[in-house]
Amino acid sequence: MYWEIVDIVSRSIYVAGLATLTASTWSIPLGLILALRRFRGRYVLTSIFNSLIGFPTVLEGLILYLLLTRSGPLGWLNLLYTVNAIIIGQALLITPLIISFVIGAVESIDPKIKDAALTLGLSGWKANLVVISYSIRGIIASIMAGFNRAIGELGVALMLGGDIRFKTRVITTAIAFETGLGNWSFALILGFIFLLIISLITILTFIITGRIIARRVVF
């Protein structure tokens, strides 16, 4: 039982962490562009990403399942019922969440800060760096929110991973499975560990952001 818990928890952190890292590589830059640039269609794109935050995980799992199944257009990749499939699904799931959080973090900064930077003679991109430096806490919070969303997600992990023991089983699918079997003690242990992980990630994030703000460099 002990080693099975270690296996489930470590896989959950790995999958959610890699999904968050992957999603952040395109979500943060896109969020910054939408927040700092003014172009036609910007508000439409922002509204679309905001609405996709509540996209049902089961529906996304179904769509990706149909794409990745052997008879689907991406079946030749042989990703279905693998950890990589879960990572892809979770990365796509948390993308709109991270983008929306980044946009909110940047737009919450007083516009006078950028105006002051431009008045002091900084170029446009350096003035944007100043705004980003003031938004860093919110940006890191967006990453944390993405991780929490990924590790607590069930639909995608279940449909794309299949909850295969010692292969694709993660905390949420294990809790659902063990609860169905009536194994309450095992499910409660996993639930407690899940809450502990979320709490530790939250505390660590606030510590990191606090130190970054204390050492903030104005460009």
Q: Give me the domains of the chain, ranges plus CATH numbers.
A: 2-214 (1.10.3720.10)
Q: What's the confidence (pLDDT) of residue 124?
A: 76
pLDDT tens readout for residues 124-180:
788 888 899 889 889 999 999 999 999 999 999 999 999 999 999 999 999 999 999
pTM of the full predicted structure?
Answer: 0.91
Nearest to 137 by CA among 113, 101, 97: 101
pLDDT exceeding 70 applies to what percent of the chain?
Answer: 96
More confident residue, 210 or 196: 196
Q: What's the confidence (pLDDT) of residue 219?
A: 45
Beta-strand ranges (E) seen in 31-111 are none
Give kind and range of the element (H or E) at residue 196: helix 184-214
Q: What residues contact 134, with CB distance under 8 A and at least 6 apart?
A: 109, 113, 216
- Rounded to whole angstroms, the Cα distance separating 45 from 119 reads 31
Q: What's the confidence (pLDDT) of residue 216?
A: 58
pLDDT tens readout for residues 64-105:
999 999 999 999 999 999 999 999 999 999 999 999 999 999
- Tell me what the pLDDT averaged over the chain comes to: 91
